Amino acid sequence: MSSVARRRRVFAGAILLTLAPLTAQSASDANQAVEEFHHICLAEGPSFLRMSQDAYGRNWELLAEVAFEELAPIADPDSVRVWLTTKVDGGLPPGTIIGFTTASIDGKPVHTCTLALPDIDPDAFQKAFFTRTDAEKISEERSPAQSNRLYILFVSGRQQFVRLVLPVAKSPGKPLVVASSIMAPGSAEQNGSKR
């Protein structure tokens, strides 16, 4: 099978997983999802090398960049790498999209790490996020379908920004909780790392 055909098959699989019926999830699922977000995106900051190692070790499927266009926390990223979980993986439900990007904000480079989590209760996720971190909200935009909030927080002595996109109302299909960390590159390496 060619790499193009494989990417199309994986992307089609991602779409089908996203359209599957919504099932109820418990608060413990939200807690586990927050722990995964903390481990993958926050504890050591966004890291392409570490995320690639996780993808290999945890059997995440590589997706085409187009699968991440609507989820990227910063528009028009310079580079993108995207993966998909096809089964339950620790605290990640099947159909989770994991993305790493490099981008620029006001001419300054940043790295981002995103988890788009299906089947996670948005209120429970937000509550667990606040219990786990010292995040302070600095902005919010609302639409009929979702709220988009930006937070600042410190993890292991490093300043990071977190963007949470939460569905506002129950909608057909499988609404996603989208959590992204945004950080200047090099910060993780300069300050060491802790989980």
**Which position has the higher pLDDT, 24 or 159?**
159
Residue % of the chain over a pLDDT of 70: 78
Per-residue pLDDT tens for 59-106?
A: 999 999 988 888 999 999 999 999 999 999 999 999 999 999 999 998
Q: Cα–Cα–Cα angle for 98, 47, 38, nearest 5°?
A: 60
114-138 exposure pattern, b = at least 16 Cβ within 10 A, e = fewer: bbbbbbbbbebbbebbeebbebeee
162-176 exposure pattern, b = at least 16 Cβ within 10 A, e = fewer: bbbbbbeeeeeebbb
**Which position has the higher pLDDT, 27 or 17?**
27
Q: What is the mean pLDDT of the chain?
A: 82
Domain span at residue 14? 3-191
Tally of structural domains, the chain: 1
Confidence tier at 189 by pLDDT (50, 70, 90): very low
**Residue-by-residue DSSP string for the chain:** --HHHHHHHHHHHHHHHHHSPP----HHHHHHHHHHHIIIIISS---HHHHHHHHHHTTPEEE-GGGGTTT-SSSS-SEEEEEE-SS-BTTBPTT-EEEEEEEEETTEEEEEEEEEEET--HHHHHHHHHHH---EEEEEEE-SSEEEEEEEEEETTEEEEEEEEEESS--SS--EEEEEEEE-TTHHHHH----
| Prediction pTM value | 0.80
**Which among 108, 125, 122 has a CA at the least distance from the CA of 169?**
122
- Residue 12: pLDDT above 50? no
